């Protein structure tokens, strides 16, 4: 499984869908927002947590269609499905590789990009914490959606339509955690909800994604 994780990381970097693409898209979203809402720092500071979360969410969508598509095209997915390791473990490693190349860089870059949106200094830590807790759920949900659409021609649009509604709870609680933390309010509820969503997706979706892959390979 570790070898599979390293293989997917190497393929993601070589295919150009790794660290740079997600960060570049994240930066473009953050830079364009002030042009749309104006340069008022008070307005930007108020909407910064939500904008950063929306940017991270959309950046995660960029490489979802390639999680299983390349392996399906060259026949590697059939070999992985019959390998000694459980297919659920394969799905978990695919999601982990996606998070390392997408979610982790976005989490680390969030404070720097938050400065462009006049994000309050008290919110930097909360922004990183919320993304660190929430982006694994985005990768796992995206991997599940990729498993549902593997083998479909032009499945990228369908994948986005399937995944985006499932992203909404993570987006809501992630942005709410940052907003409450910056204002000095109680953060226990959004923090626990965000952690619960991530734990539930990591615990349940590998089995659902593996079942979807088995059905698509028949």
pLDDT digits (tens, 9 = 90+) for 112-136: 888 888 888 888 999 999 999 999 9
Per DSSP, the residues of 206-218 read HHHHHHHHHHHH-
Q: Which two tokens stand for residue 207?
A: 């089995």
Q: Name the residue among 189, 137, 195, 132 with its Cα closest to residue 166.
A: 137
Please give the C-alpha separations between residue 154 and each of 146, 159, 176, in angstroms, as whole numbers.
12, 9, 35
pLDDT digits (tens, 9 = 90+) for 151-203: 777 667 788 888 999 999 999 999 999 989 988 888 999 999 999 999 999 99
User: What is d(CA 156, CA 61) in angstroms, rounded to the nearest whole number?
Assistant: 9
pLDDT digits (tens, 9 = 90+) for 77-110: 888 888 788 889 999 999 998 899 889 999 998 8
User: What is d(CA 93, CA 205) in angstroms, rounded to the nearest whole number?
Assistant: 13
- Of 15 and 50, the structure prediction assigns the larger pLDDT to 50
At residue 205, the pLDDT reads: 94
Per DSSP, the residues of 75-140 read THHHHHHTSSS-HHHHHHHHHHHHIIIIIHHHHHHHHHHHHHTT--GGGHHHHHHHHHHHHHHHHH
At residue 19, the pLDDT reads: 63
Which residues 6+ apart lie within 8 Å of 132 measured at CB?
107
């Amino acid at each position: 499984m570790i070898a599979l994780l390293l293989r997917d990381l190497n393929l993601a970097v070589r295919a150009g869908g790794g660290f740079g693409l997600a960060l570049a898209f994240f930066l473009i979203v953050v830079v364009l927002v002030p042009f749309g809402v104006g340069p008022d720092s008070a307005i930007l500071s108020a909407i910064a947590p939500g904008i950063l979360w929306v940017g991270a969410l959309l950046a995660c969508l960029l490489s979802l269609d390639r999680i299983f598509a390349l392996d399906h095209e060259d026949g590697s997915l059939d070999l992985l499905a019959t390998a000694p390791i459980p297919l659920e473990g394969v799905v978990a490693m695919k999601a982990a590789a996606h998070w390392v190349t997408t979610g982790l860089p976005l989490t680390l870059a969030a404070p720097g990009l938050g400065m462009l949106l006049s994000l309050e200094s008290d919110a930097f830590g909360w922004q990183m914490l919320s993304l660190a807790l929430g982006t694994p759920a985005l990768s796992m949900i995206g991997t599940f959606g990729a498993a549902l659409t593997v083998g479909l021609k032009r499945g990228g649009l369908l994948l986005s339509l399937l995944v985006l509604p499932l992203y909404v709870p993570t987006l809501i609680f992630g942005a709410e955690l940052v907003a409450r933390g910056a204002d000095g309010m109680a953060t226990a509820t959004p923090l626990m909800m965000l952690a619960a969503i991530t734990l539930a997706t990591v615990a349940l979706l590998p089995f659902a994604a593996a079942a979807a892959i088995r059905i698509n390979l028949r």
